[in-house]
Amino acid sequence: MNCIWCDADIIPQVNWGNLFVLEKPKLLCPVCEGKLDKIEGKRCVRCSRRSADKVCSDCQWWEEKEGERIIEFNYSIFSYNEMMKDMIAKWKYRGDYYVGEAFKHSFITAYHEKFAFLKKNAVVVPIPLSTRRLKERAFNQAKMLADFLPVETIEALCRTHGEKQSKKSRMERIYADNPFFIEESINKSVILVDDIYTTGTTLRHAAKLLRDHHCPEIYALTLVRG
């Protein structure tokens, strides 16, 4: 099999541990996989930003601004380094659906490690695209990530069309109007799923709407911390 990114041959590593177990082949070669920056060590317990402080200054600001904690915590797996930027661009903006498969194992592992305490008492809600954006891209990357997880997915939110988040400044994102409206109320815990956590505004808009419609607690699982 060849690496989906650089096309190098991927030579399966055989040892006594996997000799009699059929494992799914990796999609990235060790070199490309090594270029992804997994977030390890100290991080903010609220947003996964690399931080020596237990709660980073951004999250302290949000809680002061909102007067409450709208999201219990967000867990992100990777940082937004150059390799990840290139992969996200090809996957999300140039429509290469298969690139997303390279993140499947990491996403499922993170779910089991960080959200197992919820057991089956939670559902996953992917952050939606607007109808127009979905037509442009042909798929919703957040829905793809959500579908990797072994738990019920509910597309409870819809989104109005607006300027791309990537075109907005940090302050424009933070003070933007809520672009979501709700399709279905959920009276159980929710794990919001998205590809990138940047300022946290998108997730907070979604979480606030869910909370206003009787959702008891909200968490978030994101692939990348920007």
> Are residues 17 and 65 located together in one domain of the fold?
no
| 129 & 83 share domain | yes
Q: CA 6, 8, 12: angle at the middle one, nearest 5?
A: 125
Identify the burial level of 143 via C-beta atoms within 10 angstroms of its C-beta, where 0-12 means exposed, 13-18 middle and 19 or more buried. middle
Q: Which residues contact 213 (CB under 8 A, 6 or more apart)?
A: 182, 185, 186
Beta-carbon-side half-sphere exposure of residue 140 (alpha carbons within 13 Å): 20
Please answer whether residues 43 and 189 qualify as being in contact, where contact means their C-beta atoms are separated by less than 8 angstroms.
no
Q: Are residue 30 and residue 68 in the same domain, yes or no? A: no
pTM assigned to the model: 0.90
Do 50 and 12 have their domain in common?
A: no
69 and 142: one domain?
Answer: yes
Q: What is the pLDDT of residues 14-37, one digit of tens each?
A: 666 555 555 677 899 999 999 999
Total domains, the chain: 2
Q: Are residues 50 and 143 in the same domain?
A: yes
For the segment 94-113, what is each residue's pLDDT rounded down to a tens digit?
A: 999 999 999 999 999 999 99
Are both 14 and 86 inside the same structural domain? no
Supply the angle between the helices 104-115 and 141-148 in degrees, to the nearest 10.
60
The verdict on 31 and 126 lying in the same domain is no
Same domain, 72 and 17: no
Domain that residue 11 falls in: 1-35
CATH number at residue 164: 3.40.50
Q: Are residues 47 and 5 in the same domain?
A: no
Q: Give the percent of the chain with pLDDT over 90.
A: 81
Indicate if 104 and 7 belong to the same structural domain: no
Residues 58 and 12 in one domain: no
